[in-house]
Amino acid sequence: MDQATVEQTNRSVLRPMGMSLSIEQLNAWYGRKQALFDINLTVPPLSVTALIGPSGCGKSTLVRCLNRLHETIPGARVEGRVIANGLDIYGRGIRPMNVRRHIGMVFQQPNPLPTRSIFENVAIGPRLNLGLRGSRLKELVERSLQQAALWEEVKDRLHSPAISLSGGQQQRLCIARALALEPEVLLMDEPCSALDPISTLQVEELITYLKRQYTIVVVTHNMQQAARIADRTAFFLQGHLVEEGETQQLFTHPRKKETEDYISGRFG
């Protein structure tokens, strides 16, 4: 069986009900400095989970632990378990690059590859991982760009350089790039913080649309954004998970005082 066939078989097993993540006793360090303390959190499938909290609270570190990107920083270290579909992604013999191939990520700053075209930017994931080319690749690129709500804007200039796009378009291109690998989970690290209000709205609508097919974890500074898009919200403070629950409930009836102070704007 070639790699693409293996992928397809796996997908039929993994896809229908979506993938859940459960984070168990997760600790993370940058060198000596501990950034996350005993995090326990469950991310339900086919939903949007928002991580909120003031700068430096560890929310970005946590999403970077979910696709094993944290450990690529020199000196950084993780302990604990992240169970995806019954399998610990920090378990023995698990290759980080295979994890990252199934758990996609979108970053704070749009980071398209500057020397590549729009098409190439979306095609690179499937090309590297599935060895796709020709018409199957073209279809996949088109579908991903459509899912990311960018197709109409770029279909006539697929071969212009990616950096000729505006910031908001670049971010949707990065989303399309992540979707082209058909990941089970999509991690988004403050995906709108570098965007203007209109682009932000487009990306938010996109997130709401995508949760029908993907499990989404989104880090955000913006509490209104969390309230708008997230099904569940988790509040972090100084590396600790303070409170977690249904978004509506967390914002209207927080259980902890710190949460209430933060969402009512008393600090952060």
The one among 112, 168, 191, 239 contacting other proteins by CB under 8 A: 112
* Residue placing its CB nearer to other proteins in the complex, 119 or 262: 119
Closest approach, Cβ 161 to other proteins, in A, equals 3
Q: What number of chain residues touch other proteins (CB under 8 A)?
A: 33
**Element (H or E) spanning 112, and its range?**
none
Asked if residues 40 and 23 have their Cβ atoms less than 8 Å apart, the reply is yes
Q: And the tokens for 7?
A: 């992928």
> Can residue 70 be called a binding residue for other proteins (CB under 8 A)?
no
223 forms part of the interface with other proteins (CB under 8 A): no
CB of residue 55 vs other proteins: minimum separation in angstroms?
A: 18
Q: Look at strands 103-106 and 87-88 and give their pairing.
A: unpaired
3-state SS class at 214: coil
Q: Does 105 bind other proteins (CB under 8 A)?
A: yes
Q: Does 87 bind other proteins (CB under 8 A)?
A: no
Q: Distance of alpha carbon 123 from its chain centroid, rounded?
A: 19
Nearer to other proteins, 130 or 223 (CB): 130
Q: Does 104 bind other proteins (CB under 8 A)?
A: yes
Burial code of 12-28, b = ≥16 C-beta within 10 A, e = fewer?
A: eeeeeebbbbebeebbb
Q: Can you give the binding site for other proteins, defined by CB under 8 A?
A: 67, 69, 72, 74, 97-102, 104-105, 107, 109, 111-116, 124-125, 128-129, 160-164, 174, 177-178, 181
